[in-house]
């Protein structure tokens, strides 16, 4: 049941916070993003009624269909890869675009946010583990883009997003999350208003919190398995 699942997830976050080695640059609070992709729209008001206002979706069309039905309550996060030609829609739909993974996309989002007169909050997604099948800035491209961020006047860079490899190798997952934390600290040292380190999903969010995440993206542990027949968006 949803309320029980939420209590469990919150409990595991609290426990992971206790297991941190010491104070961290990401603070002492963790914000939960409920990942509602491939679940029916009505779970959004259901989880929001339980006090979770942050909603994560990975596709523009699906988020748009849900917002047309429900309105735009809470804070909407885009967590999936975004194609440049959908930047305009993404800027209209999302409060925080977590999956910004290239200079081309930075430029496109900046342009569209400018047209809408919006200051768009974004995170930089870093492919810390250098997985060839994953998107995200490579660690080198991330280093290279840091000095250029001021040129995107309609974007507000708020932090870093990392996805760990799908593996049982806990030590590897921890190393990747620690790498994400180091990138966050680097960004925070050189820019104002850096708040968010988004790391951790259902399988690994306690490890992510221990390694410094303050934004976790959880779907399955709250809502159960996704229904991939819900593709009519």
Ligand X SMILES: *Cc1c(COP(=O)(O)O)cnc(C)c1O
| Residues of this chain that bind ligand X (CB under 6 A) | 35, 37, 58, 79-80, 163, 201-203, 217-221
Residue nearest to ligand X (CB): 219
Please name the helix (run of DSSP H) or strand (run of DSSP E) that holds residue 208, with its range, or none.
helix 205-210
Please, what is the minimum distance in Å from the beta carbon of residue 22 to ligand X? 27
Cβ distance to ligand X smaller for residue 181 or 223: 223
For residue 140, give the nearest of 170, 174, 105, 103 by alpha carbon: 103
Task: Return the structure tokens found at 61.
Answer: 């069309």
Cβ distance to ligand X smaller for residue 113 or 215: 215
DSSP characters over 65-114: HHHHHH---SEEEE-S---GGGHHHHHHH-SEEEEE--HHHHHHHHHHHH
Please, what is the minimum distance in Å from the beta carbon of residue 148 to ligand X? 25
* Cα gap 85→14, rounded to integer Å: 40
* Cα gap 28→103, rounded to integer Å: 32
* Cα gap 101→64, rounded to integer Å: 22
Please, what is the minimum distance in Å from the beta carbon of residue 216 to ligand X? 8
Cβ distance to ligand X smaller for residue 43 or 221: 221
Please, what is the minimum distance in Å from the beta carbon of residue 220 to ligand X? 3
Please, what is the minimum distance in Å from the beta carbon of residue 42 to ligand X? 18
For residue 217, give the nearest of 123, 137, 120 by alpha carbon: 123
Instruction: Tell me the helix, strand and coil percentages in the chain, rounded to 5.
Output: 45, 20, 40
Phi first, then psi, for residue 31 (nearest 5°) are -100, 130
Please, what is the minimum distance in Å from the beta carbon of residue 226 to ligand X? 7
Cβ distance to ligand X smaller for residue 163 or 207: 163
Please, what is the minimum distance in Å from the beta carbon of residue 69 to ligand X? 21
Q: Tokens 């001021």, residue?
A: 150
Cβ distance to ligand X smaller for residue 37 or 152: 37
According to DSSP, residue 90 is labeled H
Cβ distance to ligand X smaller for residue 189 or 209: 209
Cβ distance to ligand X smaller for residue 41 or 203: 203
């Amino acid at each position: 049941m949803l309320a029980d699942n939420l209590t469990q997830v919150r409990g595991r976050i609290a426990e992971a916070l206790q297991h941190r080695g010491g104070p961290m640059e990401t603070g002492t609070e963790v914000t939960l993003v409920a990942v509602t992709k491939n679940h029916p729209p009505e779970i959004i008001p259901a989880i929001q009624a339980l006090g979770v206002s942050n909603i994560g979706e990975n596709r523009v069309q699906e988020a748009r269909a849900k917002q047309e039905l429900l309105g735009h309550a809470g804070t909407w996060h885009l967590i999936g890869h975004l194609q440049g030609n959908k930047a305009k829609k993404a800027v209209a739909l999302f409060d925080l675009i977590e999956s910004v993974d290239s200079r081309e996309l930075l430029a496109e989002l900046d342009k569209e946010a400018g047209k809408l007169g919006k200051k768009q909050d974004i995170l930089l997604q870093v492919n810390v583990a250098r997985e060839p099948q994953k998107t995200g800035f490579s660690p080198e491209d991330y280093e290279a883009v840091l000095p250029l961020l001021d040129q995107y006047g309609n974007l507000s860079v708020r932090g870093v997003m990392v996805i760990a490899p799908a593996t049982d190798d806990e030590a590897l997952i921890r190393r990747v999350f620690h790498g994400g934390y180091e990138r966050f600290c680097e960004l925070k040292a050189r820019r104002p208003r850096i708040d968010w380190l988004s790391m951790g999903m259902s399988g690994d969010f306690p490890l992510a919190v221990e390694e410094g995440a303050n934004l976790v993206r959880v779907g399955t542990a709250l809502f159960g398995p996704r229904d991939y027949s819900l593709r009519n968006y």
